[in-house]
Each structure stands twice: as structure tokens, then as C-alpha cells.
Structure 1
Amino acid sequence: MPTFEEITAFVNQQPLATAVIALLGLAGLVLAFLVIRVTWKAAVWLFARYVAPRPIEDVLTIAAASIATGVSAQGMWRFSEDVLGLDGPLRLLLFAFIEIAIITSAVRARRNMRENFSAGIDGIAVWALTCLTAVLSSMDARSLPEAVFRLAAPLVAAWLWERGMAIERHRIRGTGRINWRLTPERALVRLGLAEVSDRTTSEVDAHRRLTRVALAAKRAKALREGGASDRKMRHALAKLDKAMDQAVEHTGLAVDPARQEALLAQIAALYNTSALIDADPRVPWEPEADHHPVPARPALPPALAELVNDEDEDVEVLDTTPQVVSTAERAAQIRAAREFWDRQIAKGIVPRTVDIAQEIGIPLSTAREYRALWKLEPQAHAIIEALYQQHGIVDTGAFPAIGADGRVLTKH
């Protein structure tokens, strides 16, 4: 590098050449500034157009796949010289033909995914060409670690491409990945080492102990009904007694109503398994699937039947003479009757016709008219249906209501 004195002497001796060099340097700086500016704008545009809209994992996938492809291309560069004997421009033109084919197949596979929802033959070509370039690159390796590295690099690039395609396939088709039948979770569940649900250890243990009690009770019942010998019965009862002792000790069965109900539910299910053969499940594709025959109404107890058969007209009312009331009085009676009706419905009781008539002091015919309209409302209709389903009580307008404690109420 010339010293400052040498530069000063050159300027003094060659002023014209110095001016030309200065102008050329200034033009070069301007040109470099313009090139840097254009390059920066192009980079910003490319980033905003192709990088920013993509998720970060896609960007990292493309970067890693590009590096792996470069490693594979470097291996093919050496392979073309050492094995094929290519040199100069011919080597530069031909060394990376497989990598270019891989990129072309990957682009075509992505287009097929967007248009036909499947990578098609191009997806298979990506893996085939990747394996080919990996094998060729490793064949010119000078050591075993280098061979393994050159084998792994293209396969890593193909794997990253495959994962990107899987994400895009899920995004386009809206479907998830396949569910493998053989997984570590399924194997552990099959061996009994893992639990399917998210129950705690205590819940699982309590369920198993209650199940042992139910199964032991079923076996003892079956032996007794089958006329088993005393020895078998003693063994079955001893097993049942032992299972019950363990359940009471470890599950809190004696004081836990939920566990008691669970045990009774299991016993009920096990005792009535023979009823499954007579089950008549509904088949939705059969003709007239919505048709359900009305079940026969069960016979009522004598006390209830006597109350149901009583006619409203047989009940003594405070005033049986026809009433002539004004519009205002009639409106007041309707409001009073409606308030009484709503109070009784809130208690779970459907008032009888005679109840309304006696409470408000109106004729039976008027009370029957009000009740006929109000009993069709959803809440009252639900109570009437529950009375029929649970107690077999038919609504005749004079049927007894059922209180919250289950007692039959002949009047409010």
C-alpha cells in the first residue's frame, strides 16, 4: 500500500490522471450505492412477498432444506470430478442436475397438492431422487463419518419437505393425520400399564374394587340359582365377603353415596344381562322409524283409581249457581286463578279443576276452561307426563297431585 508521501508526489506529478481516478472512484461509489439500494429494496420486497406471510416454521424449513441441498450438491461436485472425470465448464453445468430435478419435483408436488389434494407421482420422485443423490454423494466419501453425513443431508432435506407438505395437506383438506393402530400408548394400554382416561389412581383402584364386588355377587347368585354344592357356595360367599371388606376399607363405600350408587348400578347391570337378548333397539333406516306404539297404561292402585274416577261435578263447590260478573271482575278472577296456578306449578303440583274452583270461588266450568288451556304449557305438561310415567296417573282434571316428598296429595 503506497504511503501518504508517495500519493502526494503522484498527485503533484500527474494531476490529470489523479482527476480521472477521482472521478472514476466517485462514479464507483455512486454505482455501489445504487446497487446496494436496489438490492436492499429487492430483499425487502422478497421478504414482504414470500417470507413475512409464511409461518416461522416454514421459513426455517426452507432454510434448512437449502443448506442440506447445498451439502448434497457439494458432494455431487466432487463425485463428478473424481468418478465421472468432468472438469471445467462441463463440470459446472452437469454436477447438480439431480438437485435441480429434486427442486422441480418438489415444486410440482406442491402444485399438485393445491390443485388435486395429493402430491402424486412427483412426491414419490422427490424421495427417489433424494435417495439417489445421497447414495452417489456418499460413494465418493473418504471416510465412514463423511459417508454417513452425505447420506443424511439429502434425507434431512426430504424429511423437512415432507413435513411442510403434511401441514399444507392438513390446511387444504381439513383432515388430520392417520391414526396408527400400533403406537406406544396403545401397547401400554393393552398390557394394562397405562390408563385410557384421565382418572386418578384412587379412582381407578376404587372402580376395580367395586367391580370385583359386583362380579363376586353375580357368581354367588348364579351358583345359588344353579343349586351348587355347599362347598362352592361357601367359597363364593367367602370371596364376596373378602371383596366387600376390601371395598369398604379402601373406597369408603360405607359412607360415600356416589360409590354406593356405582356399585348398585354395576350389580343391576350384571344381574340383568339376560334381558339384552330381548332388547328391541330402534333402527333408524327402517320404514316408519319415528312411529312408536303407545304403551299400555298400567292399572292404578284402588285408592288412586277411586280418586281418578270421581267426576268434577260430584265435588261440592261453595257456590253452584251461575255467576254473572262484570269484565273487571272476570279479569280479576283470571289473574287470581293464574297466580294460584303458577304457585302450584312452581311447587311441582298440577292443580285440579276443583282446586282452582274452590281457591278462587268460580264455577267448575270456568275453572275447567282455564285448566284446559294452562295444562298445555311446557312446564305443566312435563309434570303431567312425569306423573303418568312414574306413577301411572292419568290426567282427567281430577287426578291427585304428587308432592315433592312423593306423597299423593288429594288437595292442595
Structure 2
Amino acid sequence: MPPFEEIAKFVAEKPVVTAIFCVLGLIGLALAFVLIKIAWRAGAWLFNRYISPRPVEDVLTVVAACIATGVSAQGMWRFSGDVLGLDGPLRLLLFAFIEVAIITSAVRARRNMRENYSAGIDGIAVWALTCLTAILSSMDARSLPEAIFRLAAPLVAAWLWERGMAIERHRIRGTGRINWRLTPERLLVRVGLAEVSDRTASEVDAHRRLTRVALAAKRAKALREGGASERKVRAALSRLDKAMDQAVEHTGLAVDPQRQEALLAQIAALYNTSKLVDADPRVPWEPEEKDHQPVPARPALPPVLAELVDEEDDDVFDTTPQVLDTAERARLMRAARSYWDRQIAKRIVPRTVDIAQEVGISVGTAREWRALWKLEPQAHALIEALYQEHGIVDTGSFPAVQDDDERVLTKTP
């Protein structure tokens, strides 16, 4: 740097050039300030948008994967120059095509995971391309440690990507990929040092003491009923009495109704184990057997009902079908159908004359429509119930039977 005297001399000799340099310097400082401010805001926006919402482990995974990918790309740079003989701009454009393909496949696999809950073929492509770039970059290594390092770097990046995908998969599905059968928790439970449930120590101790009482009672009962010697029966009763004393002392059995019921339930289960041999439980998906009796042939109408049928109100109305245009017929059919559905919802099968009176159509048309609608499942079930419970045959003149309905028609004894 020139001394202060030289700078003062240059300013005195060339004041215009010095002024121009000062103005350009101020403009440069202003532009630098603006660029730094824009870069700061862009960095803050990127941080708040993509980094801050993510867990720390995800951010570290991305950083480590980027570093490992950079190491792999550096190996491919040397491979493209030493092995392929690429140089200049061509080398700059082509050296990292595999790394770009790996990143593309990883992004596609993550999108497939979010949309289809599986990485798909893109997940396999990530591992295949990673192995390819690891082998190619290690082939130009100058020593065995360098070759191992260049093999490990892409595999580390792929492993970190896989772990990130596993976390994403767990968040989407709510489940992990596998459940290990051999874990520290399972081993502790196996040797009896841990409990499967979240019971407290007092609850576990109470359950074990009650179980001892139930087992001792079963043992004493079996010896007594099996004709064992008096000494064995007396010893079994002594163990039962001791277990009972400890249960009453440590579990509050004498004053706790829940534990009393639990003890009786255990004793009942132990005393009746032999009945399990003769048990015939049904699997839950087996249909229950029902007495499917065929519907008998419908008998002839009783004289009273036959007389009512003969006196049906059909004679009051014109039984010939109506001749209507298409629009009017459709309107009347919709009205009749609406009335039919309302009555069926009330568990009443409308009569032919009811439909005719409600809509204002001829009995012949009402009978035609009713003959179609009564074959539907809900109406047919009501008609069958009418016949099965009261023996009434549907003739189009009688409503369905309902216990709390005033329109109930029963047979005359």
C-alpha cells in the first residue's frame, strides 16, 4: 500500500481522477450494501421457508448428503479428466451427470412417497446410480485408502437419503418398516425384569399374590378330590392359608371389591379348565345357524277376509288404465312413488285404493304401479311379516301389520 504522502501527492496532482475514484467507490459500496441486504433477506426467507420448519436431524441429513455428494463429484471430475480425457468446458459440463441423475431420482422418489406411499423405481435408481458413481470414482484412485474413501462417500450420501425417506415414510404411514423381534425391551420382559403393561409395582405385586392364592386353592382342591394322603392335603391347605394371609395383608383383599372379584374370577377359571376340552367355540366369521323353515304354501283366505276382498272398493273407481301423455304420467308416478315411500317408512304397505285416492289416478293404474313396487326388498319384507305373524295375504286391499298401529287386521278365530 502506498504511504500517505504518495496518496496526498496523487490527489493534489489529479483531483478530477481522484473525485471519479471516490464516486465509483461510493457507488460500489452502495451496491455492495444493497446486494448484501438482498442476500440476507433471501437467506432469511429460505431459512424460514425450508430450514426452520424441519427437524434438526433432517437439516443435518441434507448437509451431510450434500458434502458426500460433493466428494463423489470431485472423484468423477478426476475420472473424467484422467480416464475419459475430457478437458475444458466439456469436462465442466459432463463430469457430474451421474450426481445430477441421483439428485433427480431422489426428488422423484420423495414425491412418489408423498403421493403413492412408496419410493417406487426411483428409489431403486438412487441406489443403482450411487453404486455406479462410487465404483467409477474409485477406479481412478491412487491408493487403497483413497479407493475405499471414494467408495464410501456416495454410499454415505445414499444411506442418509434412505434414512430421511424412512422418517418421511413413518410420518405418512404412521408405522415403521419392520418390528425387530430381538430388542432390549423384549429381553428384559423375557427374563422377568420388565413388565409388558404400564402397571405400577403395587398392581403387579397384588396380581401375583392373588394368582398364588388361586393356584394354591386349585392344588388343595385337586389333592382332596384325588384321594391324596392327609399329610399332602394338610400341607396344601397350609400353603393356601399362608398365601391368603399374605394377600389380605398386602393387597387389601378384605376391603377391595375389585380384587375380590378378580380372585374369584381366577379361581373359577382354574376350577373349570377341564370344561375347555368340551367347549365348541365358533369362529367369529362363521355365520350363525338359523332355522330356515320354508314359507308354507299360503292358505286360502278365511271367509271373513274373502268377503272383505269381494267387497273391495275397486268397484267405486274406474279400473280401466288411464290414457295420459308422457309428462303427466311421469308427474303422477313421481307423486305416487313419494306417497309410497312415506308409507313404507311408517311400516305400512299402501292399498291400491289408497294410492288411487292420494294421487288421483285410476285403480287400474295404481294396481299396475303397486305390483312393481311391492316386489322391492323393504315392502316385500313387510308383506312377509304380515303373512308370517298374522296369516294375512296381501291382496292390495290391506295394510301391513304394526303392533302399535291402529290399522291392524287380524284373523277371526
For the criterion TM > 0.5, the same-fold answer is: yes
Judged with a 3 Å threshold, the aligned counterparts in structure 2 of structure 1 residues 283 and 8 are, in CA distance, closer, same or farther, namely closer
Q: Are residues 166 and 71 of structure 1, via their aligned partners in 2, closer, same or farther at CA, if it must alter by over 3 Å?
A: same
Q: Shift of the alpha carbon at 1:270? A: 0.6
CA distance in 2, matches of 1:103, 1:215: 65
- Pairing 1:156-305 to 2, within 5 Å after superposition: 156-172=156-172, 174-184=173-183, 185-201=185-201, 203-227=203-227, 229-230=228-229, 234-235=231-232, 238-239=235-236, 241-242=238-239, 244-245=241-242, 248-249=245-246, 252=249, 256-257=253-254, 258=256, 260-276=260-276, 277-278=278-279, 283=284, 286=287
- Any residues of structure 2 matched to 1:26-37 within 5 Å, and which? 26-37=26-37
Distance 1:215 1:181, change over 3 A: farther
> 1:237: Cα distance to partner?
5.2
In 2, distance between residues paired with 1:177 and 1:123? Answer: 17
Q: Is the 8 A contact 1:254 1:260 kept in 2?
A: no
Asked whether the 8 Å contact 1:206–1:247 carries over to 2, the reply is: no
Name the CA distance, whole Å, in 2 between partners of 1:96 and 1:251.
Answer: 78
- What is the CA-CA distance between 1:182 and the residue it aligns to? 0.8
Quickly say closer, same or farther: Cα 1:99–1:244, change in 2 above 3 A: farther
Query: Relative to 1, partners in 2 of residues 1:201 and 1:53: Cα closer, same or farther, differing over 3 Å?
Result: closer
CA contact (8 A) 2:220 2:240 kept: no
**1:119 and 1:178 mapped to 2: Cα distance?**
13
Report the alpha carbon displacement of residue 206 of structure 1 after superposing the two structures with TM: 4.3
Q: 1:35 to 1:177 in 2, by over 3 A?
A: same
Cα distance in 1 for partners of 2:213, 2:71 equals 67
* AA matched with 1:63: V
Preserved contact between residue 206 and residue 251 of structure 1 (Cα < 8 Å): no
2: distance between equivalents of 1:17 and 1:254? 101
Residue 65 of structure 1 pairs with residue 65 of structure 2:
yes
| Structure 2: distance between partners of 1:143 and 1:55 | 37
Partners of 1:204 and 1:8 in 2: how far apart?
93
Give 1:100 shift.
Answer: 1.4
Tell me, in whole angstroms, the C-alpha distance in 1 between the residues paired with 2:131 and 2:234: 69
Correspondence for 1:316: none
* Residues in 2 aligned to 1:93 and 1:240: alpha-carbon distance in whole angstroms: 91
Does the residue aligned with 1:196 lie in a helix, a strand or coil?
coil
Q: CA deviation at 1:195?
A: 1.8
Tell me, yes or no, if the aligned pair for 2:72 and 2:154 is still in contact at 8 Å: yes
Q: Which runs of 5 or more residues in structure 1 are unaligned?
A: 290-412
1:309-320 matches, cutoff 5 A: none
Match of 1:252, SS state, is helix
- CA-CA distance at 1:3 after TM superposition: 1.4
| Structure 2 alignment gaps of length 5 or more | 291-413
- CA shift, 1:43, in A, is 3.0
Instruction: For residue 106 of structure 1, report the CA deviation from its aligned partner.
Output: 0.7
Taking the TM superposition and a 5 Å limit, the aligned residue runs for 1:61-100 are: 61-81=61-81, 86-100=86-100
| Structure 2 equivalent of residue 361 of structure 1 | none
**1:117-162 CA-partner distances (Å, limit 9, x unpaired):** 2110111222333344445555627464x66655554444333333
What's the C-alpha RMSD, in Å, of the aligned pairs? 3.8
Residue 126 of structure 1 is matched in structure 2 by 126
Deviations 1:240-284 (A, max 9, x none): 633652563477269633455543321111112244444667957
Q: Is the 8 A contact 2:209 2:246 kept in 1?
A: no
Percentage of matched positions with identical amino acids:
68
Matched letter for residue 50 of structure 2:
Y
| C-alpha distance 69-26 of structure 1, shift in aligned 2 (>3 A) | same
Q: Which amino acid aligns with 1:271?
A: Y
Distance 1:158 1:254 in 2: 57
Alpha-carbon distance, 1:87 to partner = 4.6
Which of 98-107 and 61-70 deviates more? 61-70
Q: Partner amino acid for 1:97?
A: F
CA contact (8 A) 1:68 1:156 kept: yes
The answer for the alignment partner of 1:109 in structure 2 is: 109
* Aligned amino acid, residue 77 of structure 2: W
Question: d(CA) in 2 for partners of 1:243 and 1:130?
Answer: 69
The CA distance in 1 between the partners of 2:285 and 2:168, in whole Å, is 38
Q: Which amino acid aligns with 2:106?
A: A
Pick closer, same or farther for the CA change 1:41–1:200 going to 2, 3 Å. Answer: closer
> How many positions carry a matched residue from both structures?
284
- Tell me, what secondary structure is at the counterpart of 2:181? coil
Equivalent position SS for 1:39: helix
